[in-house]
Amino acid sequence: MKAQKVLIHCGDVRDNDLASYAQKIVQRMTNNPHFTDPQPDLATLQAAISVYTAALITNKDSTKENTASKNAARLVVENL
C-alpha cells in the first residue's frame, strides 16, 4: 500500500498562529484510526512545533538572526 501524506497549506497562517494550528493537527491525528502510521511521525512534528515556538519567542527581539531562525523553523513545520 502506498504511504499517504497529509497535505497542509500553512502559507496563509500567521506566524503567531502556526504553532497552535500545527498542534491541533497533532491532536486530531493522535490515535486517529485513519492515520495509523503518519509520515513523518507525530513526535517529529511535535518536536518541530517546539523548536518553532522557541524561535518565535526568541524572535521578539527582532534581530536578523532571530528572524532567520524563526523563518527556518517555520519552513520545517510547513514542510513536514
Per-residue pLDDT of the chain (80 residues; tens, 9 = 90+): 566 666 667 778 899 899 999 999 999 999 999 888 888 889 999 999 999 999 999 988 788 999 999 999 999 999 88
Structural domain tally of the chain?
1
Candidates 54, 36, 44, 49; CA nearest to 77 is 49
Q: Does 4 fall in a domain?
A: no
Q: Does 37 fall in a domain?
A: yes
Which parts of the chain fold into alpha helices (H)? 15-29, 42-58, 64-79
CA distance 34 to 16: 29
- The residue range of the domain holding 44 is 15-79
Q: Does 6 fall in a domain?
A: no
Q: Does 1 fall in a domain?
A: no
Helix pair angle (42-58, 64-79), 10° resolution: 160
φ, ψ for residue 8 (rounded to 5)?
-125, 130
CA distance 11 to 50: 19
